Amino acid sequence: MRRSSRRGSLFLTQTTLVASGRVNIHRRLGVAGAALAAAMVVFGFLTAIAGARHGLTIGPLDPLGSLIVPVVDIGRFAVLVSAGLLCRRDAEWHRRLMLLAMVALTDPAIGRFPLVGSSIGFEMALMTLFVLAGPVNDWLVRGRVHPAYIWGGLLIMAGLPLKVLGFTTAWHTFAAWVIR
C-alpha cells in the first residue's frame, strides 16, 4: 500500500472518532486541529501574498487581481472554522460549521479540475452542490435545515461573486499596498 493512501485526513479522523464514541480523543486531537487551522490561515495569506509578488495569475485575473481569490477562500475558511471552534460545546452547530469549513477549502481544488478552471459557471455550480449537500441531508433526515447550514452556506456562496472585485481598481490599489 502506498504511503499516501494510508494517511487519513484530520477531518475524517475526527468524524470517525466521534462516530465511534471516542469523544475524549476527538477533543484532544481538536486542539492540534485548531493549531493546524490557525497555521493554515496565516501561511495561506502569506503564500497568497508571495504568489502575487511573483506574478501568479488565476484565471483571467492579473497577479494583483488574482490575490482576491485566496484571500476570499482563506477568509471563508477562517470564519467558518473559528465559528466551529467557538461552538464546540454545541455538537449540532460545531459539526456543521466544521463541515462547511472543509467545503470552503474545496473551491481551489474545483478550479483545478480539467475543463472546470476555464468555466466560472461550472465551478460555481459544483461549489453550490457541495454547499447544498448538508442542508439537503438535514431536510431529508430531520425535516428541517439547521441554521448553521443557512448562515455558513450563505457565507460560502457570497464569496464566489465577491471574487469579481479582483477586476476593480480599488482592489488593485489595495493589493498593491498589501504586497509592498
User: With bands split at pLDDT 50, 70 and 90, how would you rate the model's confidence at 26?
Assistant: very high
pTM exceeds 0.85 for this model? yes
Q: Is the pLDDT of residue 6 over 50?
A: no
Burial 106-129 (b: 16+ CB within 10 A, else e): ebeebbeeeebeeebeebeebbee
Burial 130-141 (b: 16+ CB within 10 A, else e): bbbebbeebeee
Per-residue model confidence (pLDDT) at position 162: 87
Query: Which residue has cell 461573486?
Result: 161
State the DSSP string of 148-167. HHHHHHHHHHHHHHHGGGGG
Give burial (CB, 10 Å; 0-12/13-18/19+) of 41.
Answer: middle
Q: Which residue in 79, 46, 47, 51 sits closest to 65, CA to CA? A: 51
User: With bands split at pLDDT 50, 70 and 90, how would you rate the model's confidence at 1?
Assistant: very low
DSSP 8-class letter at 60: T
84-137: per-residue pLDDT in tens? 999 999 999 999 999 999 999 887 788 777 766 556 777 788 889 999 999 999
Per-residue model confidence (pLDDT) at position 117: 56
Query: Which residue has cell 465511534?
Result: 20
Phi-psi region of 116 (alpha: psi -120 to 50; beta: other; left: phi over 0): alpha
155-174: per-residue pLDDT in tens? 999 988 888 899 999 999 99
* Mean pLDDT, rounded, for 4-13: 68
* C-alpha torsion sign, points 162, 165, 166, 171: negative
- Amino acid letter for position 150: I
Q: How is the chain split into domains, by residue range?
A: 9-172
Identify which has the larger pLDDT, 114 or 178: 178
Within 13 Å of residue 143, how many CA atoms lie on the same side as its CB?
0
29-74: per-residue pLDDT in tens? 999 999 999 999 999 999 999 999 999 998 788 999 999 999 999 9
Q: Are 84 and 97 in contact (CB under 8 A)?
A: yes
